[in-house]
Amino acid sequence: MSGHDMTRRRAIEVGGIAAAASLAAGGAAALGQARAPAATGQPMPDDVSLPSQPPRAPRPGSVGFAIIGLGDYALNQIMPRFARSERTHIAALVSGNPDKLRQVGEAYGVAPEARYSYERFDEIAANPAVEAVYIILPSGLHAEWTERAFAAGKHVLCEKPMALTSAECERMIAAGQRANRRLMIAYRVHFEPYNMAAMDLMREKAVGDLRLIRTEHSYRAGPSTPATNWRHNRALAGGGPLEDYGLYGLQATLYLSGEMPTRISASAHRPEGDPRFSEIFAHVAAQLHFPSGAVAQVVTSYDSAGLNLVEARGNAGALVMRPATNYNGNTLSLETGRDGRKLEPGDSEVQFAGQLNHFAAAIRDGAPIITPGEMGLRDLRLIEAIYASATSGRTVALNPDATMRG
Ligand code: NAD
């Protein structure tokens, strides 16, 4: 029996046929199966400011990356931050929009022969200047492009969520092993000073024994539809806000508690008649129960006033982060008794270069990856358990590796 069949069988035992169907569709949950479309060219996003001059020449030993997908996050956040990473540089670009490819290539000093269309991507195997690819495509395309990049002999840094189902994650990990190449998931907050300080404080029991964690990652989506915005399209986004934004809260419950949940109960809501939510959920709320007795709430919404909050409460104090997981502007305060202490552990900006340098160290020096494919797989298993509970209306019991207990 394959892992996937096993998951189906467990789902039937845990939550009945409906939950099994939802698991087979992964993050698409109770919303049915959907097949991801092909990668296609999209226009230049709004408000992109391209560099006025090409970056400096790479340092000796720097790892050359191909960027796959020239969307908002790639162009506005990731690509400009390569300038601050001394161990990596942009060596190639992959896009389905020839005009955007030319414009971005010229701005970043990427030669025409290192600009690839999706159709020509496999030729990248013959380009030794590219050692790694950074996949910044819609989430439903991560698995396919990770496998293609491994087949081309490249290392893969893949955006979060790793994929939309645990079965896809398992395939991605296996493809990396077959190719003998490294796989890292771009969970940037593991390199962000406020979150790193919060992890240290929790390890030092700064709040005493942990009792409660509360996380919320919400915003109100504009008038998008599955046709106009991939984040509303279940083939590309799974169940929606949980995979995209709530995942930060789910992650925080694990790295702050240092535990894996043994039980999960959850609900997910899709309002009728709202075109934004014809294919995805508007809100998801999950409760995670940890072996220590601590309980965590993970709430996420695409249809409520914006909030980015992580809070951990123990029997001796509380740690509050609001916002907690942004690109910058995060806050961290430690409240014990009557004292409130605001901490400023560093510049959030370093998370981007930190992530790139970490992957370069893995490739060059064989260093361990702190956010490997196995972490992405773990998180997709938890997401599937959340949807299984939401679909069945029952609490789902978990094994330590986050698979559902039969
Ligand atoms: P985006 O829509 O701005 O960009 C996606 C790009 O993918 C498009 O520009 C297009 O060039 C390309 N694409 C190829 N095929 C496509 C298709 N069929 N439909 C739509 N686009 C297609 O999205 P984004 O915000 O840049 O997100 C891309 C990825 O990065 C997602 O996986 C997302 O979860 C992740 N992300 C991560 C963070 C973070 O903080 N780590 C932040 C934002 C986005």
Does residue 32 have a pLDDT over 70? no
Under 8 Å CB-to-CB from 364, ≥6 apart: which residues?
Answer: 61, 63, 87
Give the predicted TM-score (pTM) of the model: 0.93
pLDDT band (50, 70, 90) for residue 31: low
Which atom of ligand 1 is nearest the CA belonging to 100? 11
Which atom of ligand 1 is nearest the CA belonging to 43? 9
CA distance 388 to 186: 26
User: Would the CB of 186 count as within 6 Å of ligand 1?
Assistant: yes
The CA–CA distances, whole Å, from 368 to 104, 254, 362 equal 33, 19, 6
If you average pLDDT over every residue of the chain, what do you get?
92
Count of helices and strands (H, E) across the chain: 12, 15
Give the model's pLDDT for residue 204.
98
Distance, CA 137 to ligand 1 centroid (Å)?
4
Pick from 35, 40, 42 the residue to mutate for probing ligand 1's pocket: most ligand atoms within 8 Å of its CB.
42
Q: Walk across the sheet containing 88-94 and list its strands.
A: 115-116, 88-94, 63-68, 132-135, 155-158, 183-185
Q: What percent of the chain has pLDDT over 90?
A: 89
Provide the phi-psi class of 109: left if phi over 0, else alpha when psi is between -120 and 50, else beta. Answer: left
Give the model's pLDDT for residue 78.
98
Does residue 365 have a pLDDT over 70? yes
Which atom of ligand 1 is nearest the CA belonging to 142? 32
CA distance 143 to 188: 19
Which atom of ligand 1 is nearest the CA belonging to 38? 18
234-262 pLDDT, tens digit per residue, is 999 999 999 999 999 999 999 999 999 99
Give the model's pLDDT for residue 125.
98
User: Would the CB of 72 count as within 6 Å of ligand 1?
Assistant: yes
Comparison of pLDDT for 30 and 65, the residue scoring more: 65
CA distance 2 to 188: 32
Give the model's pLDDT for residue 338.
78
Active site residue 342: no
Q: Are 322 and 308 in contact (CB under 8 A)?
A: yes
97-138 pLDDT, tens digit per residue, is 999 999 999 999 999 999 999 999 999 999 999 999 999 999
Give the model's pLDDT for residue 111.
97
Q: Which of 100, 154, 160, 205 is catalytic?
A: 160
Mean per-residue pLDDT for 163-186? 98
Give the model's pLDDT for residue 391.
96
User: Would the CB of 143 count as within 6 Å of ligand 1?
Assistant: no
CA-angle at 359, arms to 354 and 365, nearest 5°: 115
User: Would the CB of 45 count as within 6 Å of ligand 1?
Assistant: yes
